[in-house]
Amino acid sequence: MYPNASLYEDIFQRLSESQRTLLVAHQNPDGDAIGSVLALSQFLDKTIGENHIFCLTIPAPSFSFLPTIERIKTNPLILKKIEFDTIVVLDSGDLEYSGIKPHLQELKYSPQILNIDHHPTNDYFGHINLVETDAASTTDILFRIFNHNRFRISKDIATCLLTGIITDTGSFSNLATTPQAISNASELLINGARAKDIINNALTKQSIGVLKLWGRAFSRLIKNNHTNIAITVVTQKDFKECKVENESAEGIANFLNNLNGAKAVLVLKEQSDGTIKGSLRTTRDNIDVSKLARVLGGGGHKKAAGFTIKGKIEETKSGWKIV
């Protein structure tokens, strides 16, 4: 019996009866955000209403293998063109990160907002909030909802759900890995989830340009002796010269997470809109990187967090600086 069983039932019924549903993945979506919206969309395809998917930024090419990913739209005008009765925000700690906050304020109708997430920094922005910090991923929570309500999970839905679990646990190698996550992943494999596709695409398949980009990040890696944090940077110039998109830097922080001799890792990535995205990771039980992320206006988990600040990254005689 799940502790939130009654809420699972309420959410399942609400979604089953919704006439027009918008599913929202946070900007710069990872495997969990993408897997969540795609899995839930395919569930909604079997209900009475219509559903649409929105993400402010285009998903990385490494997720193009996922079924129905072509349905993700990046134009926020969809919120004005269709009067949604339900908006489901998945894997986002706040409305700002989801990318729809300013657009919600302009709406002439009042949709019910459903917030499903596993981040401990979630600010409970929804009319209905399902935040389970013990879950390995948001797709892990969706599996619980489907399982409790005895919904039969298809192979495609299983693949989307497993993508979120595998990517958020670093292929079952980081501290987000729990016995429940492993058990749920096993059930998804039984249901036909294509683990080989996930590993070959979302985890290991990289282009020459991406590898060149990562090489630049590795070559700039330094350790701050005062904080004992290993830091590296990626600039817009790097993206252009390596001929890759910004999403290609996703995964560098996870890769460096097992670095010896540092308490934590910080990867600073210059964005095209004049901001810098920071990704924090640690494997230490006594370190909480989400505290630092919150100070800088971000959030996340104890072992994995992020933030966004205004500025640019420049190389000086004394090293890389934020200006």
The full DSSP string for 233-268 is EE-HHHHHHHT--GGGGTTHHHHGGG-TT-SEEEEE
pLDDT in tens, 96-108: 989 999 999 999 9
The answer for residues whose C-beta is within 8 angstroms of residue 81's C-beta and 6 or more apart is none
* Tokens linked to 64: 């193009």
**Which one-letter DSSP state was computed for residue 150?**
T
Q: How many CA atoms lie within 13 A of 29 on its CB side?
A: 36
Task: Report the pLDDT value the prediction gives residue 98, as an integer from 0 to 100.
Answer: 94
Task: Report the pLDDT value the prediction gives residue 83, as an integer from 0 to 100.
Answer: 97
> Are residues 122 and 267 part of one domain?
no
Task: Give the CATH number for residue 263.
Answer: 3.10.310.30
Name the domain boundary from 185, 203, 221. 203
Share of the chain above pLDDT 90, in %: 74
pLDDT in tens, 208-245: 888 999 999 999 999 999 999 999 999 999 999 998 87
The helix/strand/coil state of 300 is strand
pLDDT in tens, 115-174: 999 988 899 999 999 999 999 999 999 999 999 999 999 999 999 999 999 988 878 877
Phi-psi region of 274 (alpha: psi -120 to 50; beta: other; left: phi over 0): left
pLDDT classification of 300: cutoffs 50, 70, 90: confident
> Are residues 170 and 235 part of one domain?
no
Inform me whether the pLDDT recorded for 35 exceeds 90: yes
Name the domain boundary from 161, 187, 203. 203
> Are residues 52 and 196 part of one domain?
yes
> Are residues 178 and 46 part of one domain?
yes
Q: Is the dihedral of CA 93, 97, 100, 105 positive or negative?
A: positive
User: How many residues comprise the chain?
Assistant: 323
Task: Give the CATH number for residue 64.
Answer: 3.90.1640.10
The answer for residues whose C-beta is within 8 angstroms of residue 46's C-beta and 6 or more apart is none
Inform me whether the pLDDT recorded for 285 exceeds 90: no
> Are residues 227 and 152 part of one domain?
no
Q: To which residue do tokens 């005895």 refer?
A: 150
Q: State the Cα angle at 56 between 30 and 126, rounded to 5°.
A: 85
Number of structural domains (the chain) is 2
Q: Is the dihedral of CA 60, 267, 122, 117 positive or negative?
A: positive
Question: What would you report as the CA-atom Rg of the chain, rounded to the nearest whole angstrom?
Answer: 19
Interval 60-80 mean pLDDT? 95
Q: Which domain holds residue 191?
A: 5-203
* Tokens linked to 297: 């206006």
Task: Report the pLDDT value the prediction gives residue 86, as an integer from 0 to 100.
Answer: 98
> Are residues 36 and 102 part of one domain?
yes
- Whether the CB-CB separation of 88 and 16 falls below 8 Å is answered with no
> Are residues 246 and 272 part of one domain?
yes
Q: What is the mean pLDDT of the chain?
A: 93
> Are residues 275 and 145 part of one domain?
no
> Are residues 134 and 98 part of one domain?
yes
Name the domain boundary from 152, 170, 203. 203
> Are residues 261 and 238 part of one domain?
yes
Inform me whether the pLDDT recorded for 31 exceeds 70: yes
> Are residues 299 and 196 part of one domain?
no
> Are residues 127 and 105 part of one domain?
yes
> Packing angle between helix 155-168 and helix 179-190, nearest 10 degrees?
150
